[in-house]
Amino acid sequence: MENKILAIAEVKQGIIKNNTFELLTTARKLAESLQCPFEAITVSDLTQEQLNILSEYGVENLYNIKLSDLNAKSPISNIKYSHSAISRVVADFILSGNYTIVLLSATSFGKEIAPSLAIKTEAALGVDLIDLKVENGNLIATKPVYAGKAQVDLEFKSERVVLSLRPNVFKAEKMNSTSFTVHNIEISNITDSDFKTVVSEIVLSSGKLDVAEADKIVSGGRGLKGPENFHLIEELASVLGAATGASRAVVDAGWRPHSEQVGQTGKTVSPSLYIACGISGAIQHLAGMSSSKCIVAINKDKDAPIFQVADYGIVGDVFEILPKLTEELKKIL
């Protein structure tokens, strides 16, 4: 089969996810190395005008499956979307268009549908990738394992691959498309049994950034001494426009919600700035954040392991340093 790339552009609650721009850039570069076409698909209710932004990333043909039309086929009314039904229509599109490389983002949505897409399209599956290259015409995909304590290069032995890219790792670079056409796809052959799971409601935590998506993170650990002192973390995060994170110790102690936990049994993150406050740096925490681009550690113990992965650090009292840091940043931000 001739190579042909399809990028699945993710639209959530009517918004094109930033990861999609990383995805399209990666797809375009891969298409250049393999000298093959690349196209994109989305399942959304966005207008042509709203979809035009994708033309800034070099894609010429965008296929759109109207989400409201798909949802209307559901046996249950008023659904937000159905992972299984989306997987069905996208898989049918992959098969009918003979795409050999399918790219999507390793977001909650992408992680949920990638395995079923791989089975439906008889593809090999590579997930949560941090690098993708072509060697002698073969794809080599790099994936962190053991929460980032090691990494593996994967190779694939199948005609088709489904690959999910870790968010915030691949660069998004603009390049205007020479032409841009949105093709609307008719939905056919979908039955009640394709709606195996349906999302009836989405509740977002009130205005809080999620650590998994944030470009900057301020995390707190045991050094904060109690949940009542996390306002220091929140204030610093607020000045930076950062998400708040936490170590496992403070999540297990019930000081912070699990959704904030960074590390091997929490979230693995790669923000451009990660500030670890009062976190000693247990190996399972380091695993989750050491791929951050710039790491700042603030801890009273100069021998704490966190300093070994830090780009910048201050040995000292978090209760003195955090308010001062917040104050200094306020002056310039």
Partner 1 sequence: MKIAVCVSLVPDTTTKIKVDSDNKSINENGVSFVLNPYDEFAVEEAIRTKEKFGGDVTVISFGTEAYKEAIKKAFQMTADQGILIKTSSKNFDSFTVAKNLAEVLKTENYDIIFFGKQSIDYDGHIIPSMVGELLGLPAINDVVKLNIEGTKVTVEREVEGGKETIFANLPAIIGTQKGLNEPRYPSLKNIMAAKSKPIKEISPIEIEPLVNVKEMRLPPVKGKGKIFEGVESVPELVRLLKEEAKVI
Nearest-approach distance from CB 42 to partner 1, in angstroms: 18
Q: Which is nearer to partner 1, 59 or 211 (CB)?
A: 211
Of residues 59 and 165, the one with the C-beta less far from partner 1: 165
Give the interface segment with partner 1, choosing from 21-29, 64-72, 114-122, 183-191 (CB under 8 A).
Answer: 114-122
For partner 1, the closer of residues 177 and 290 by Cβ is 290
* Cβ-based neighbour number of residue 153 at 10 Å: 11
How many C-alpha atoms does 96 have within 13 Å on its Cβ side?
12
Q: Does 200 bind partner 1 (CB under 8 A)?
A: yes
Contact flag: residue 171 with partner 1 (CB under 8 A): no
Using rule CB under 8 A, residue 80 touches partner 1: yes
| Among the residue ranges 22-30, 44-52, 92-100, 302-310, the one whose residues contact partner 1 (CB under 8 A) | 302-310
Provide the β-strand partners of residue 16.
Answer: 11
Look up residue 279 and give its two tokens: 């976190």
Under the binding rule (CB under 8 A), the answer on residue 196 touching partner 1 is yes
CB of 300 to partner 1, least distance (A): 10
Does residue number 310 form part of the binding site for partner 1 (CB under 8 A)?
Answer: yes
Task: Pick one of 8, 40, 118, 232: the residue that binds partner 1 (CB under 8 A).
Answer: 118
Report the site for partner 1 in 135-154 (rule: CB under 8 A).
140, 143-154
Q: Are residues 309 and 293 in contact, defined by beta-carbon separation less than 8 angstroms?
A: no
20 contacts partner 1 (rule: CB under 8 A): no
Rounded to a whole number of angstroms, the minimum distance from the CB of residue 179 to partner 1 is 33
Neighbours of 7 (CB within 10 A): 30
Residue closer to partner 1 by CB (options 56, 234) is 234
Is 210 among the residues that bind partner 1 (CB under 8 A)?
yes
Q: What are phi and psi of 110, to 5 degrees?
A: -65, -40
Question: Taking CB under 8 A as the rule, does residue 223 contact partner 1?
Answer: no
- Selected from 14, 53, 265, 301, the binder of partner 1 by CB under 8 A is 265
Cβ distance to partner 1 smaller for residue 154 or 187: 154
**Residue 25: DSSP 8-state:** H
Sign of CA dihedral 166, 168, 170, 175: positive
Instruction: Tell me the C-alpha distance between 10 and 174, whole Å.
Output: 18
Cα–Cα dist 272/163, whole Å: 23
Using CB under 8 A, count the residues that bind partner 1.
93
Q: Is the dihedral of CA 233, 238, 239, 245 positive or negative?
A: positive
In this structure, which amino acid lies at residue 114?
A
Nearer to partner 1, 1 or 203 (CB): 203
Residue 126 interacts with partner 1 (CB under 8 A): yes or no: yes
Nearest-CA neighbor of 30 among 59, 67, 66, 61? 59
Name which position in 2, 49, 186, 201 contacts partner 1 (CB under 8 A).
201
- DSSP one-letter string for 257-317: -GGGBBSTTSB----SEEEEES----HHHHHHHTTSSEEEEEES-TT-THHHH-SEEEES-
Using CA atoms, how far apart are residues 18 and 10, in angstroms rounded to an integer? 9
Give the sheet arrangement for strand 161-165, strand by strand.
124-129, 161-165, 101-105, 5-9, 38-44, 61-66, 181-185
Going 185 to 187 to 193 to 196, the CA torsion angle's sign is positive
Candidate residues 53, 72, 134, 329; the one interacting with partner 1 per rule CB under 8 A:
329
The yes or no reply on residue 170 touching partner 1 (CB under 8 A) is: no
320 binds partner 1 (CB under 8 A): yes
**290 lies in the binding site for partner 1 (CB under 8 A):** yes
